[in-house]
Structure 1
Amino acid sequence: MTPVIFGEDGWFTAGDNGRTTKSFEINYINNDVIQKEKKHYTFENTKWDNDWCYLRIPNKKNYKLDKNKLILKGTDITLDDVDSPTFIGIRQRDFNATISCNVEITDGEAGITLYMDENHHYDLAIRKCENGYEAIERLNIGDIKSVEKSIYLENKNNISLIINASNSYYSFSIKSENEESILGYAKTRYLSSEVAGGFTGVVIGLYACASNSFNYAEFTNFKCMYK
């Protein structure tokens, strides 16, 4: 693969001083030309700098990236803002998948978002409420922003969030103490380029937000398994 290098002025140059070579040497002995399809993505088998991406320019002080754990510090910037919320994502590579992650919060809100842009995203999250904690399914489609369902968690501040994806629908559920509850469904088409515009496709994001500076969210056991 031709290397891409960013110069001092921020613009990239490709190849050999901006030119491509006429031929490349390929090592068949080490099977360099064989592509291996990857079906299972976790914190442990991905690289933060290669497989994951941010929204615009992140404040790195709000991120602690470990091999098997992610800690995010929430801010008052949300996924609806044209800004850089505390968010890190990995691209959805196929229609049919199961996405899950354990999330624990101290305050505010944190969870998984299926993100196309600030006007088109589906969120499955846990958040602090007046009498404890609740899990929510929220749909953001253009000007319509609706919490479709919420489940009170009786002061439990950690749960497993689960999203099942197919060609036509996403389903949203939570698992707490071996009991799984479905919050709802949403059509995939409203996050598509044909409806939402854009060209990047859906990103599976882990995010946190809060109205104070003391909200920390811990993400463990992330799995994205393509069927």
Structure 2
Amino acid sequence: MTTPSATFRNPVVSGFHPDPSVCRVGDDYYLVCSSFEYFPGVPILHSRDLVNWRQIGNVLDRPGQLELPPDTHASLGIWAPTIRHHDGRFWMVTTNVTLGRHLIVTATDPAGPWSDPVYFDLPNVDPSLTWDDNGDCWMTLSGVASYRIDPEAGTVLEGPVPMWSGTGGQYPEAPHLYRIGDWWYLLVSEGGTHTGHAVSIARSRNIRGPFEPGPVNPFLTHRSTDRRVQATGHADLVQAGDGSWWMVLLGIRAKGQWPPYHVLGRETFLVPVRWVDGWPVVDPVEEVTAAPAGSPPSHAAAADPGARRDDFDGAELAPGWISLRHRRQESWSLTARPGWLTLHADGTTLDRTGATMVAHRQLHHDCRAAVRVDPGSGRAGLTLRMDEAHHYDLEISDGCVRVIGRVGPFRQVFGEVPVPAGPVTLTIATRTHDLLPPTVTAADQVTAPGAPFGVRPSACDTVSFEVATEQGPVVLAELDGRYLSTEVAAGFTGRVFGLYVTAGSAAFDWFDYRSTPVSEQ
């Protein structure tokens, strides 16, 4: 059994992995996150030390489990799952916000297959499961209230039972009930899901309450501070095999001057927990976090998932690949052209729902994603996406590669170059910059030939677009990354790099993703 080493790097799961929930079974930890409008839903990751995580599958990986209608808006879909292990089975509960229903699925193997859903039509979101001393199952929801349920029949046996709703902060949510010693502890997040986010706690001798608030609430928040990690909340507790306690939670890492912008979405962080007079205490979340003295060393240092390559040689897509709302069997193939991923167009534009896309989360602020694509007679490319109204595309069709920017109601071509027929390599890279050099003014950045489009001193990063030609790589454009941020696009997701086709068919030979620290660029 291992737990994190003396220090480890946060986030432990980088990129768009929000609303984490965790459970331990023996020496193994399992973690799930929200997936919103993407299919498959609810990524599940495995770890032996809480620091190094590997995705082993997706809980909702077939249409019968995950219904996302074509008009599902960005950031709707699947919200805030909870994973628990009880009576020899794994249980996952979540909300399909598009349908307005909670669902429970189970599995004996966390890598799947998971069962068909059992649905509950109850108000609010962020469902969590726990079992009392009698073996009865309780579902707790934002608000905060609990219901005694039959999780296999889909029936409510008792409730709502009003619980403790925090200190009065906005949106009491992410409630989790734990039986620890003689107490029932109720963990609640409040204050909203952005920079006001906070974690509070209460306890009771009885699962039905009344609940006594902790002596210091919220016991974790970064609001009104200058810490690099912000929006800390939506937490879950887990006890390691050595008796130590830990908490996973979401946070954001914004870049740029005022106001800062975050582009990776909400990420998963980890903090050690110590108990003082029967209450949990945590230190602020740092990008390099110290574990408590005496914790066993980790079997490995915190992993940087810096390089990921897919040559599409397998029989199935790797679990990290996600698509928009569905992935019709007719829209993709790994066998039509062996060693290539072939995509067939379902929609004519990324500006509306229905397009064929297979995407990889952006995991680092500074990174490069490249693909080798044969467009045939179709229209295809590589996109950096937040939603239908906020994406930058590096697209090839009719013997030309062009950069297209869609921001709100505006759509514009920023650069293009002719290319010969056949496969071509396309690359999108991101480069952060918290400050512009003092000798460069905002006006210079806007008007100087070849300058990044619309970059201001507060810009969080620059996105560049490159195509390989016979004469060497050509950078077609550099665009301001702020327009692909949550602060501009709104919503709950982060950026993804998407392989897409919007006319005909196209084949992708490989995809290569790498982190690129600024010092290496």
| TM range, smaller chain | 0.7 to 0.9
SS of equivalent to 1:195:
helix
SS of equivalent to 1:190:
helix
**In the alignment, which residue of structure 1 is the partner of 2:320?**
51
Q: Deviations over 1:17-41 (max 9, x none)?
A: 4337865547x7993x854221101
1:176–1:14 distance in 2 versus 1, CA, 3 Å: same
**In the alignment, which residue of structure 2 is the partner of 1:161?**
426
- Contact 1:72–1:207 (CA under 8 A) maintained in structure 2: yes
1:115–1:30 distance in 2 versus 1, CA, 3 Å: same
Match status 1:64 vs 2:340:
no
Match status 1:193 vs 2:486:
yes
Deviation at 1:224, TM superposition (A): 0.9
Give the partner amino acid of 1:216: S
Q: Deviations over 1:70-89 (max 9, x none)?
A: 11112334211123x11010
1:172 is aligned, of 423, 444, 465, to 465
Name the TM-score, length of structure 1 as normaliser: 0.81
Match status 1:16 vs 2:286:
no
Deviation at 1:97, TM superposition (A): 0.9
- Contact 1:43–1:69 (CA under 8 A) maintained in structure 2: no
- Contact 1:43–1:68 (CA under 8 A) maintained in structure 2: no
**In the alignment, which residue of structure 2 is the partner of 1:41?**
308
Structure 1 vs Structure 2 CA RMSD: 3.0
Q: Deviations over 1:116-150 (max 9, x none)?
A: 0000000001112xxxx110100000010111122
Match status 1:143 vs 2:416:
no
Match status 1:127 vs 2:127:
no
**In the alignment, which residue of structure 2 is the partner of 1:118?**
388
Which has the higher relative contact order, 1 or 2, with Cα contacts under 8 A spaced 6 or more apart? 1
Give the partner amino acid of 1:121: H
Tell me how many residue pairs correspond in the alignment. Answer: 214
Q: Which has the larger radius of gyration?
A: 2
Q: Deviations over 1:170-222 (max 9, x none)?
A: 11110023522221111110000011111211011000011xxxx22111231
Q: Distance in 1 between matches of 2:65 and 2:465?
A: 44
Q: Distance in 1 between matches of 2:411 and 2:494?
A: 20
1:221 is aligned, of 510, 513, 516, to 510
- Contact 2:311–2:510 (CA under 8 A) maintained in structure 1: no
- Contact 2:486–2:494 (CA under 8 A) maintained in structure 1: yes
SS of equivalent to 2:421:
coil
Deviation at 1:69, TM superposition (A): 2.9
SS of equivalent to 2:363:
coil
1:134–1:204 distance in 2 versus 1, CA, 3 Å: same
User: Which stretches of structure 1, 4 residues or more, deviate above 4 A after TM superposition?
Assistant: 3-6, 8-13, 20-24, 44-47
Q: Distance in 2 between matches of 1:13 and 1:76?
A: 34
Which residues of structure 1 form unaligned runs of 5+? none
Name the TM-score, length of structure 2 as normaliser: 0.38
- Contact 1:115–1:202 (CA under 8 A) maintained in structure 2: yes
Deviation at 1:156, TM superposition (A): 1.6
Identity %: 26
Q: Distance in 2 between matches of 1:192 and 1:140?
A: 13
Which residues of structure 2 form unaligned runs of 5+? 1-21, 24-29, 33-58, 67-77, 87-128, 131-177, 181-238, 243-295, 433-460, 517-521
- Contact 2:347–2:356 (CA under 8 A) maintained in structure 1: no
Q: Deviations over 1:24-71 (max 9, x none)?
A: 547x7993x854221101115998352111101221211114795311
1:88 is aligned, of 342, 358, 364, to 358
**In the alignment, which residue of structure 1 is the partner of 2:437?**
none
Q: Distance in 2 between matches of 1:87 and 1:159?
A: 18
- Contact 1:15–1:21 (CA under 8 A) maintained in structure 2: no
Q: Which moved more, 1:115-124 or 1:161-170?
A: 161-170
- Contact 1:110–1:217 (CA under 8 A) maintained in structure 2: yes
SS of equivalent to 2:319:
helix
Alignment of 1:101-112 (within 5 A): 101-112=371-382
